[in-house]
């Protein structure tokens, strides 16, 4: 067959390239892809293996709760005022002060105020429960100190973040100012703040060169809902105080 003299080699090659381009094929496939019809002035694509991984985002540490320790109150009366005003302790909202006396026969520590508390800590069902417990324990109301680990009702509190932010140090300072004979902790989430495992029973924490014994149980809302938990706490209390 004779070749068509009207088409030279260059025109035939250009026509073939145009045909493949119309068909959507503009790459020559091999182990490494290479563009055949791309702009030679365009920057080369960096292989995936050689691409620099982005630097991980730097997560700032959580803000310190309580501020400078040197500025913390040194008396219980000053602490109650500071508890209601120190910005780092809580966001905006209703804060509730602790109540009771220093060197109390028993300090009762709960996770947070009840939802409806305003001027008095534990003013509703949980407060009735604690009052009944104190009566059964033969502890006069003015011989007890009622406190919360948080100054306001915060049902979705992130206790791990609070611990990392230094809430445990504030709590230990609060207990040291009260200097109670015994400590009743109602709420497993409080225990890690004091450097303890989440385990019910009698424990002790170092405080001002001595050790304070504590009895740990579940939070007041759980006690209200669980008669078995209440009976278990009462049995532990009797064993702890030698009244069994």
Tens digits of per-residue pLDDT, 105-131? 999 999 999 999 999 999 999 999 999
Query: What phi, psi does 70 have (nearest 5°)?
Result: -65, -20
Give the model's confidence band at 96: pLDDT under 50 very low, under 70 low, under 90 confident, else very high: very high
DSSP 8-state symbol, 66 = T
The upper half-sphere exposure of residue 114, i.e. CA atoms within 13 Å in the direction of its Cβ, equals: 20
Q: By CB neighbour count within 10 A (0-12 exposed, 13-18 middle, 19+ buried), where does 120 fall?
A: middle
Distance from chain centroid for Cα 159: 4
Residue 1 has pLDDT above 50, yes or no: no
Q: What is the pTM of this model?
A: 0.75
Residue 162 has pLDDT above 70, yes or no: yes
Region of 103 (left: φ > 0; alpha: ψ -120 to 50; beta: rest) is left
The 3-state DSSP class for residue 14 equals: helix
Give the model's confidence band at 104: pLDDT under 50 very low, under 70 low, under 90 confident, else very high: very high
Residue 140 has pLDDT above 70, yes or no: yes
Q: What tens digit of pLDDT does each residue of 42-61 get?
A: 556 666 666 667 777 776 66
Give the model's confidence band at 210: pLDDT under 50 very low, under 70 low, under 90 confident, else very high: confident
Residue 3 has pLDDT above 80, yes or no: no
No. of helices (H) and no. of strands (E), the chain = 7, 8
- The CA radius of gyration of the chain, in Å to the nearest whole number, is 35
Interatomic CA distance for residues 120 and 207, integer angstroms: 27
The 3-state DSSP class for residue 160 equals: helix
Interatomic CA distance for residues 208 and 206, integer angstroms: 7
Q: Which residues on adjacent β-strands are paired with residue 212?
A: 205
Cβ pair 142, 101 in contact under 8 A: yes
Residue 33 has pLDDT above 70, yes or no: no
Interatomic CA distance for residues 114 and 122, integer angstroms: 6
Residue 37 has pLDDT above 70, yes or no: no
Domains of the chain are 95-241 (3.40.470.10)
Beta strands in 60-172 (DSSP E): 99-100, 106-110, 144-148
């Amino acid at each position: 067959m004779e070749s068509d003299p009207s088409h030279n080699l260059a025109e035939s090659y250009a026509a073939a390239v145009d045909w493949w381009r119309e068909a959507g094929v503009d790459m020559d496939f091999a182990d490494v892809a290479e563009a055949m019809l791309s702009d030679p002035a365009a920057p080369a694509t960096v292989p995936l293996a050689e691409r620099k991984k982005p630097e991980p985002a730097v997560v700032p540490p959580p803000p310190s709760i309580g501020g400078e320790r040197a500025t913390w109150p040194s008396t219980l009366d000053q602490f109650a005022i500071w508890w209601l005003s120190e910005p780092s302790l809580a966001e905006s909202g209703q804060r509730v002060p602790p109540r009771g006396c220093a060197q109390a026969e028993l300090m009762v520590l709960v996770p947070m105020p009840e939802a409806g508390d305003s001027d008095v800590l534990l003013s509703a069902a949980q407060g009735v429960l604690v009052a009944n417990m104190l009566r059964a324990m033969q502890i006069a109301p003015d011989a007890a100190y009622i406190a919360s680990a948080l100054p306001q009702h915060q049902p979705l509190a992130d206790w791990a973040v609070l611990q990392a932010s230094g809430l445990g140090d504030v709590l230990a300072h609060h207990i040291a100012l009260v200097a109670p004979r015994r400590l009743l902790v109602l709420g497993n989430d409080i225990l890690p703040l004091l450097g303890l495992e989440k385990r019910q029973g009698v424990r002790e924490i170092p405080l001002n060169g001595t050790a304070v014994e504590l009895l740990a149980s579940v939070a007041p809302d759980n006690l209200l809902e669980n008669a078995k938990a209440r009976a278990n706490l009462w049995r532990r209390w009797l064993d702890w105080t030698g009244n069994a």
